[in-house]
Amino acid sequence: MDELGSHVSASGGVHLAPGRAREIDASVLQLFTKQPSRWAESVIDGETVEAFKKTRAEHGITVAGAHDSYLINLSSPDRRLWRMSQRSFESELDRCALLELDFLVTHPGNATDGDPESGLERNALGITESLEAVGGETRVLLELTAGSGTTVGATFENLQTIIELIPIEQRARVGICFDTCHAYSAGYDLVDDYDGVWAKFDDVIGLERLALIHMNDSQHPFDSRKDRHEAIGEGSLGLEPFRRIVLDERLVSVPKVLETPKGDEGAEADLRNLDVLRSLRAEG
């Protein structure tokens, strides 16, 4: 068991997710606490909470977190959509707190008015309101985006701006999720300038804020601004950046989660991708 894991299904109840992580020899998992393409919020009762905690302990899950709904847009200039998004995000965070999850990953969203600076401000406000309303230890992780269309959060500077706009009282509960596919598509060259990318991250944000890495190859070329994940080593990044990540002493304790395509294979696809990462580490 190591710091590698995957996004696993919570079909049938979140309490089943730890067992699915164990099936792929993972002690790290990410899940959805609701259907990610619907506004309807799920309610997690006390029995489910206790069942999740029990199975998490039984299966030795050291790190468990969630990804928020795809519909949430905390950078939206539309006041109604922004409030819907904030309330949904607060509900996401509340479920995470009940389950005592370690993190909640969120995409910074889209500034559809073409004003990214205002979008970053709106995003920070939505996160701040949610953190103020929901206590607990769950950290909100801002995910680096691929930079398509009107999305914000495709630069380290964008993410740091959001962090700085969150009051210091809440800032300790905010970190970063670095997605390898998104980074490469956004113009961070992990293939030819690996050291430069991490030096830039450390300079702008600080490696101490890095709380999670999404390990995904990309179906599109460097700086494409397109977000399409691919199996490890089968896309435009190739194997070398992933070898460097799993061997990088600075990143050894950072949880790393697959979001690679599963197709019809399900857990078998996850096992194969995890085997690739573990073999890269073993080969050194």
Q: In sequence order, which residues have a C-beta less than 8 Å from that of residue 89 and are 6 or more positions away?
A: 68, 72, 74, 106, 126, 127, 130
Instruction: Delimit the domains of the chain by residue range.
Output: 4-277
Across the chain, mean pLDDT equals 97
Phi and psi at residue 65, to the nearest 5°: -150, 180
For residue 102, the model assigns a pLDDT of 98
Q: Mean pLDDT over residues 109-129, rounded?
A: 97
Res 1 pLDDT > 80: no
- Tokens linked to 164: 């700085």
Band the pLDDT of 223: cuts 50, 70, 90.
Answer: very high
Band the pLDDT of 94: cuts 50, 70, 90.
Answer: very high
Report whether 228 contacts 220 (CB < 8 A).
Answer: yes
For residue 156, the model assigns a pLDDT of 98
> What pTM does this model have?
0.98
> CA–CA separation, 255 vs 270, rounded Å?
16
What is the tens place of the pLDDT at every residue in 229-239?
Answer: 999 999 999 99
DSSP 190-242: TTT-HHHHHHHHHHHT-GGGEEEEEE-EESS-TT-----EE-TTSSSS-SHHH
Band the pLDDT of 12: cuts 50, 70, 90.
Answer: very high
> CA–CA separation, 105 vs 36, rounded Å?
12
Q: Is 4-277 CATH 3.20.20.150? A: yes
Q: Mean pLDDT over residues 133-146, rounded?
A: 98
Q: Mean pLDDT over residues 248-265, rounded?
A: 96
What is the tens place of the pLDDT at every residue in 60-93?
Answer: 999 999 999 999 999 999 999 999 999 999 999 9
For residue 264, the model assigns a pLDDT of 85
Q: Mean pLDDT over residues 6-31, rounded?
A: 97
For residue 284, the model assigns a pLDDT of 82
Res 282 pLDDT > 90: yes
Phi and psi at residue 231, to the nearest 5°: -60, 150
